[in-house]
Amino acid sequence: MKRSLLNCLFWCLPILITAQAKQGTVEYRKKKQDCFYINYNFPPEAVENALMSKLAKMGYKGREEKGMFNKDKGFNIYKEATLSDISPGKYDYVVNIERKSKKESDESVLYLLILNNDVNALPLLGSEEKEKARIFLEDLTVEVEDAHIDILIAAQAGVVTTAEKKLKQLQTDSVELQNKITKLQEEMSANSKAQEAQLTEIANQRKILEAIKSRKKI
């Protein structure tokens, strides 16, 4: 049983492979924009939780693009943020995290745009800042794994809670069934005594009947 549980946990956890960040493009505000992107061997929820937690610790909270007809829906904007791990300057960091593909739900792609006054600043960054941006995304892998484990823990805790509730209900049902059995046994005992009493009553009534019959002259 222990080996089965360990095997299950092993297969639930993706193998931690350090992802490599690269430069590419992504469509944002109706045009192709230069960006950094990186593939993670974890679901989008884990990547989003890790990044949001990291930036929240730095004092930044993103604003999500919304709207039914907004093609940029899902992008998160961190306005005028100073991420010293990347650059000492203030930039708007725009992030989009999505599934790698429909078939690969446990793999994600994170796109990172860096804007300055709504202008793509990536081409203007120095080689050192670009390298720092790549390292920032690559180093996030460990935090993404931890976030994924937190998700697995929460999910498994829910399974355990459900199982415990089921056990508690079964124990309650057992007590109720035992009470019913005890009540039925008492009713059966009372029924047996009632039958004995009724047999005695019938015997007495038959005697009376015979006595009455014996009084007939003809």
pLDDT tens string 9-27: 444 445 445 679 999 999 9
Which whole number is the average pLDDT over 79-107? 91
Amino acid identity of residue 132, one-letter, is: K
d(CA 96, CA 83): 17
| pLDDT score of 5 more than 60 | no
d(CA 163, CA 40): 33
Domain that residue 144 falls in: 2-155
pLDDT, tens digit, 9 for 90 and up, residues 118-142: 999 999 999 999 999 999 999 999 9
Per-residue pLDDT, 106: 85
Per-residue pLDDT, 17: 55
Residue 189 lies in a domain: no
Per-residue pLDDT, 80: 93
| pLDDT score of 217 more than 90 | no
Amino acid identity of residue 89, one-letter, is: G
User: Residue 29: left (phi > 0), alpha (psi -120 to 50), or beta?
Assistant: left
86 vs 64, which has greater pLDDT? 86
Residue 34 lies in a domain: yes
Residue 90 lies in a domain: yes
Whether 165 contacts 112, CB under 8 Å: no
Enumerate residues 6+ apart whose C-beta is below 8 A from 71. Answer: 27, 30
Residue 66 lies in a domain: yes
pLDDT, tens digit, 9 for 90 and up, residues 22-61: 999 999 988 999 999 999 999 999 999 999 999 999 999 9
Q: How many domains does the chain have?
A: 1
Residue 143 lies in a domain: yes
Per-residue pLDDT, 69: 63
Per-residue pLDDT, 120: 96
Residue 49 lies in a domain: yes
Residue 41 lies in a domain: yes
| pLDDT score of 3 more than 80 | no
Record the tokens describing residue 147, joined without a space.
Answer: 């976030």
Residue 111 lies in a domain: yes
Q: How far is CA 216 from CA 9, 206, 210, 212, in A?
A: 94, 16, 11, 8
Q: Which of 7-11, 25-29, 96-100, 178-182 has the lowest mean pLDDT?
A: 7-11
Whether 113 contacts 120, CB under 8 Å: yes
Share of the chain above pLDDT 70, in %: 90
